[in-house]
Amino acid sequence: MVKPVTRTSIINQKLLAALTQIALTNVVYLMAAKLFADLVKKGDYDVKTFFLMSFTLLFVQLFFLAFGMIISMFMKRLKTVLPVVMGTVFGFYFINMLNQTIDNVKVAVATPFAYVDAAKIFNTGKYETGFLMLYSLLFSRQRPITFTIRKTCHPFDES
């Protein structure tokens, strides 16, 4: 006989699968980016800044993973996720473009693309602490928020 699989187990497995995929993607990306940067360099470059810029991909991916896991608790049985994903990414990108025009911190908090500003990383050689704390807060609270929403929105689903 086969034991039923709980929704909690499914959510955990999906989260681990997504984290594994993100980790592998970033390892391949970092190796390829470093290789190509070394192949085409005309002179020395700041390796620390290069890696800081490269890790911004990881932060954006983790943001969208956490955001997607939370949003997925509100939606049931989508035939395709492409419209939701594209709308979300374009929406955040549009907010980022608006933020670059008006340069308002309150607007910057609303988009993950503003959290890792390339110009500020090149000028300072570091990430902005406040935005790193926001990333950490969102990602660390994603799992509890996901389970709370699931139990609130779908109270009669089996655990």
pLDDT of the residue at 18: 93
Instruction: For the chain, give every domain's residue range.
Output: 7-153
Alpha carbon distance 49, 125 (integer Å):
6
Q: Model-level pTM?
A: 0.80
Categorize the per-residue pLDDT at 157 as very low, low, confident or very high, splitting at 50, 70 and 90: low
- Among residues 11, 132, 149, 117, the alpha carbon closest in space to that of 63 is found at 132
Share above pLDDT 70 across residues of the chain, in percent, rounded to a whole number: 94
∠ CA 141-145-146, rounded to 5°: 115
pLDDT tens digit sequence for 29-42: 999 999 999 999 88
Q: Is the pLDDT of residue 84 over 80?
A: yes
